[in-house]
Amino acid sequence: MDCLFCKIVSGEIPSKKIYEDDLVIGILDINPNGEGHTLIIPKKHYADYKELPDDLLVHIYKVADKISDKLEEKLQKHRVSFIFNYLDAQEIKHFHLHIVPAFGKEITKSQDEVYELMKEE
């Protein structure tokens, strides 16, 4: 399979990983719409949200809640959007949830600075 996110999950393509468990990873978006813009990606390939098992979808939202709490604590972001795209809006056909803090606000920290604040200890 030639899926960008599957290659990131396998480690074939590097990423700035800030979260990982048995089911998902959380990485900083390479083209962020705000400081701390994070993607939660299931480790198993699902083309879109309609393929996700209910328990995995619940897990993804619990992880999103943890990451949004960490964004608030580490980056003082008090406004966060959860977004997933579907059909033609979905550029990469591997389900992923965007966590976008302070959408549309000016970015003042580099991705490396955000990564140092957000990476797992």
Question: Tell me: the pLDDT tens digits for 39-88?
Answer: 999 999 999 999 999 999 999 999 999 999 988 888 877 788 899 988 87
Is the confidence at residue 121, as pLDDT, over 70? no
Instruction: Provide the pLDDT for residue 112.
Output: 87
Beta bridge partners of 38: 28, 99
- DSSP 3-state of 99: strand
Q: Identify the domain containing residue 49 by its residue range.
A: 4-118
Mean pLDDT of the chain: 89
Instruction: Provide the pLDDT for residue 105.
Output: 59
User: How many separate domains does the chain show?
Assistant: 1
H runs (alpha helix) in the chain: 4-10, 54-75, 111-118
Instruction: Express as a percent the part of the chain with pLDDT over 70.
Output: 93
pLDDT band at 102 (very low <50, low <70, confident <90, very high): confident
Active-site residues, by number, are 96
Q: Indicate which CATH number applies to the domain containing 8.
A: 3.30.428.10
Q: What b/e sequence results for 44-55 when a residue is b if at least 16 CB atoms lie within 10 Å of its CB, and e otherwise?
A: eebeeeeebeee
**Which is nearest to 74 in space by CA: 39, 116, 37?**
116
